[in-house]
Amino acid sequence: MARYFDVHPHDPQPRAISQIVAMLRDDALIAYPTDSCYALGSRMDNHGGADRIRDIRSLRSDHHFTLVCADFSQLGHFVHVNNAAFRAVKAATPGQYTFILPATKEVPRRLAHPKKKTVGVRIPNHPVVRALLHELGEPLLSSTLILPGAEEPMTDGWLIKEELDNELDAVIDSGDCGTEPTTVVDFSSGAPEVVRVGGGDPSRFE
């Protein structure tokens, strides 16, 4: 049964954040709010986390996972960013964008794309996840919380708990955070390619 945390969206309670981070360090899988809908998340080194996310979402083995990072400095440990991408990514973060970039050796092989050796990264602009990342001190392995066959991500924390009570360890309810996922920009070939239009303005990469 998943623990339910009612966390203020703009001023997250430190005690709740500490409890959730302790669960993450104990290999929990959580549902949490971002600036572009709810997501599933675990520690990057949680070996079962990726498999549990794949099972919940019925994902293919070549699905691009996302590392949700606290800041640009942390992001730079996990992906190679050339000069052109550096300026563009830095100008668009924090925000509603996911960037696909070549993974560094800090990213476990099981999390990178099996052929392209790339991984998604993002820096969200939501107080709750930023508080989690600050206290955790490492990225969250993440994927949008959209269930198989659904057209939109889930948006209600209590409904997430009811639907996935046996699949998750914790649900953070911070109210509705929308149904629009991130805009995904692929830099793996050098030039930016918008592969999904979402909450972030795609025009800066076109």
Tens of pLDDT, residue by residue over 156-166, are 999 999 999 99
Does residue 93 or residue 114 have the better pLDDT? 93
* pLDDT confidence band for 206 (50 / 70 / 90): confident
Domain boundaries, the chain: 3-205
Q: What is the pLDDT of residue 189?
A: 86
Confirm if 29 and 168 have CB atoms less than 8 A apart.
Answer: yes
- pTM comes to 0.95
Q: What is the pLDDT of residue 62?
A: 79
Q: Given a cut of 90, is residue 203 above it in pLDDT?
A: yes
Check the CA dihedral 53-155-13-74 and report its sign.
positive
* pLDDT confidence band for 124 (50 / 70 / 90): very high
Q: What is the pLDDT of residue 84?
A: 83
Q: Which CATH code for domain 3-205?
A: 3.90.870.10
Percent with pLDDT over 70 in the chain: 100
The alpha-helical segments, DSSP class H, found in 58-156 are: 72-75, 83-91, 127-136
181-199 confidence digits (pLDDT tens): 999 999 998 899 999 999 9
Confirm if 37 and 89 have CB atoms less than 8 A apart.
Answer: no
Assigned token pair, 69: 């990072």
Instruction: Return d(Cα 152, Cα 129) in angstroms, integer.
Output: 21
25-73 confidence digits (pLDDT tens): 999 999 999 999 999 999 999 989 999 999 999 998 778 899 999 999 9
Q: Is 169 left (phi over 0), alpha (psi -120 to 50) or beta?
A: alpha
Assigned token pair, 165: 């009570």
Q: What is the pLDDT of residue 51?
A: 94
Mean of per-residue pLDDT scores for the chain: 95
DSSP 9: S
